[in-house]
């Protein structure tokens, strides 16, 4: 997921991590109503983080890409593209397949003063939808992303994304919340740039 990790400091309460490779239910994603409102309204490049619980960072964004949706979907499922489509990526290491056939990718994101490594699960839920979730780590309790692809015409695809992460309430998240959010929401535009330049 395109976010700064390891940002929230110590936790007073820990959440039990879900079983590895557990597919998160679609209706369990905080802010899903916001995502649906933004996507269904068809507002290009709209972003919103209303409705996210405290400690969560994220929102929705959408772009039109001058390529067919199958090309965009292949990019979202290609770990070698993650260097270009997720902000502040420091490492990408494919780890094989999970129990649901999803890609397992170890990623590290962040800056020299704060970064984090996690396992991302990436799954083509359908030809029109790619979903991703993470295995929780100390400072990243949860993270979800959903990419919806809509063919506009024979050569253009609309990519709508909702992405959110539970980074807790630590000092760095409070200070850099908006910068983290903006970095996450750059993903659709970075996908467009990457796909259209190939």
Six-digit token string for 150: 């809509």
DSSP H helical segments within 42-77, as ranges?
A: 69-76
Cβ atoms within 10 Å, residue 134: 24
Please give the chain's pLDDT, 198 residues, in tens: 444 333 333 222 223 333 333 334 444 444 433 333 333 333 223 334 457 787 788 999 999 999 999 999 999 999 999 999 999 999 999 999 999 999 999 999 887 767 778 899 999 999 999 999 988 776 677 889 999 999 999 999 999 999 998 887 777 677 888 888 899 999 999 999 999 999
Q: Single out the residue of 40, 42, 58 nearest to residue 3, CA to CA.
A: 58
Strands (E), the chain: 56-65, 89-97, 103-110, 115-126, 129-134, 142-153, 156-166
Domain membership of residue 137 (yes or no) is yes
pLDDT tens for residues 79-102? 999 999 999 999 999 999 999 999
**21 inside domain:** no
Question: Is 9 contained in some domain?
Answer: no
In this structure, the chain runs to a length of 198
Contact 68, 86 (CB under 8 A): no
The reply to whether 17 falls in a domain is: no
Residue 27: predicted pLDDT? 42
| Domain at 189, CATH number | 3.30.530.20
Give burial (CB, 10 Å; 0-12/13-18/19+) of 151: middle
Number of domains in the chain: 1
Q: Domain range for residue 51?
A: 26-196
Residue 18 domain-assigned?
A: no
Burial class (CB in 10 A: 0-12, 13-18, 19+), 162: buried
Q: Flag whether 4 is in a domain.
A: no
Cα 41–chain centre separation: 21
């Amino acid at each position: 997921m395109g976010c700064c990790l390891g940002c929230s400091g110590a936790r007073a309460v820990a959440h039990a991590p879900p079983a590895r490779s557990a597919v998160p239910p679609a209706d369990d994603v905080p802010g899903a109503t916001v995502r649906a409102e933004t996507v269904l309204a068809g507002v290009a490049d709209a972003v919103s983080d209303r409705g996210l619980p405290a400690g969560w960072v994220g929102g929705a964004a959408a772009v039109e890409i001058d390529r067919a949706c199958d090309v965009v979907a292949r990019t979202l499922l290609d770990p070698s593209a993650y260097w270009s489509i997720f902000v502040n990526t420091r490492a990408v290491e494919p780890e094989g397949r999970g129990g649901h056939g999803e890609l397992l990718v170890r990623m590290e994101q962040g800056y020299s003063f704060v970064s984090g490594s996690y396992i991302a699960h990436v799954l083509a839920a359908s030809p029109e939808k790619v979903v991703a979730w993470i295995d929780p780590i100390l400072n990243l309790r949860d993270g979800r992303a959903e990419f919806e692809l809509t063919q506009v015409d024979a050569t253009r695809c609309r990519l709508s994304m909702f992405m959110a992460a539970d980074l807790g309430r630590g000092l760095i998240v409070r200070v850099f919340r908006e910068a983290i959010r903006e970095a996450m929401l750059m993903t659709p535009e970075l996908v467009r740039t990457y796909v259209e330049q190939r």
